[in-house]
Structure formats: structure tokens, C-alpha cells
């Protein structure tokens, strides 16, 4: 992976307002592969005291965004299909890992899994990205 792209994406995630709001941290990045983490906090609960699906989705989307843009060109989501498999326990550390399954000049397909620190599968996602030809606008 281009080190310039890696550094730029790490920096952008640190600065991204939504990622900061959700305390999402980028921990690994390679071509077509990303790992992001966040801790499930009380302000992420739904009406039942479980992790809100939107909070889990936010983590998935960040993994998807960073893996998809790891090639150095702008990539945007076309479709995401999520299955929630278990409720995250309050205070658990959630980890989303995105892996590129197929890459063409215009699209790419990703498998994304969310687990907790006990390796409990929280959610799975299949996602499709559209690849533009524009370089990432925040590259120096």
C-alpha cells in the first residue's frame, strides 16, 4: 500500500467529526483491508439498553470507507446489507474488519464483520462500492 495514502487516511479518520463523535479508531489499514474499533458506551444504547443498530452501522461504515479508499482514489458506497447476529454488551470493545473480496476498475465488494473482545459475532455486512477515478482530495 502507498504509505502516503495510509498516513493520509489515518490522519483524516482522526480528524473526521463523526468518527470522533463515535470514538471510532482506525487501527489497521492495507490495500482493501481495514480494522476499526470503538467502545460501546451508554450514549449508544437503544430503548432496550442494547447497542443501537446505528452505532454498529457507524463502525461498519468506517471500516468500509477506509478499506474502499485505501487504493488512493475516491470510492463511495452503493449498497450495504447488514445482518445483526448478537447484541453487544455495554462497555464492550467492538471491532469491525473489512476485507475486499473483488476489485474492478469501477466497483469493489467487501465482507465486513463486527466482533467484540470475546470474539462474539455482532454483525456481518456485504457491501458494494463505486470507484471513481479521482484521487483522494486530501493527499498532499
pLDDT cut 70: percent of the chain above it: 100
Closest CA to 66 of 115, 136, 119: 136
Cβ neighbours around 71 below 10 Å, total: 18
**What pLDDT, on a 0 to 100 scale, did the predictor assign at position 97?**
99
**What pLDDT, on a 0 to 100 scale, did the predictor assign at position 22?**
97
> How many residues are present in the chain?
140
Average pLDDT over residues 83-98: 96
Average pLDDT of the chain?
97
Q: Which CATH architecture has domain 3-135?
A: Roll (3.10)
**What pLDDT, on a 0 to 100 scale, did the predictor assign at position 140?**
73
**What pLDDT, on a 0 to 100 scale, did the predictor assign at position 103?**
97
Q: Which residues lie closer than 8 Å to 56 by C-beta, 6 or more apart?
A: 82, 84, 88, 94, 114, 122, 123
Q: Where are the domains of the chain?
A: 3-135
Q: For residue 120, what is the enclosing H or E element?
A: none
Residue 60 has pLDDT above 80, yes or no: yes
Average pLDDT over residues 94-107: 98
Per-residue pLDDT tens over the stretch 11-30: 999 999 999 999 999 999 99
Q: Which residues lie closer than 8 Å to 7 by C-beta, 6 or more apart?
A: none
Average pLDDT over residues 82-106: 97
Q: CB of 59 within 8 A of CB of 7?
A: no
Output the pTM of the full model.
Answer: 0.96
**How many whole angstroms separate alpha carbon 73 and alpha carbon 67?**
11
Backbone angles phi, psi at 41, to 5 degrees: -105, 165
Amino acid at each position: 500500500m502507498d504509505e502516503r495514502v495510509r498516513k493520509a487516511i489515518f490522519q483524516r479518520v482522526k480528524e473526521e467529526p463523526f468518527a470522533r463523535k463515535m470514538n471510532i479508531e482506525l487501527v489497521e489499514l492495507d490495500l482493501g483491508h481495514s480494522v476499526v474499533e470503538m467502545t460501546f458506551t451508554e450514549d449508544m444504547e437503544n430503548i432496550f439498553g442494547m447497542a443501537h443498530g446505528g452505532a454498529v452501522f457507524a463502525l461498519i461504515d468506517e471500516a468500509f470507507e477506509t478499506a474502499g479508499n485505501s487504493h488512493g482514489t475516491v470510492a463511495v458506497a452503493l449498497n450495504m446489507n447488514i445482518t445483526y447476529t448478537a447484541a453487544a454488551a455495554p462497555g464492550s470493545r467492538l471491532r469491525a474488519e473489512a476485507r475486499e473480496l473483488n476489485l474492478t476498475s469501477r466497483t469493489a465488494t467487501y465482507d465486513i464483520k463486527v466482533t467484540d473482545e470475546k470474539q462474539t459475532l455482532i454483525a456481518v455486512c456485504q457491501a458494494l462500492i463505486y470507484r471513481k477515478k479521482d484521487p483522494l482530495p486530501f493527499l498532499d
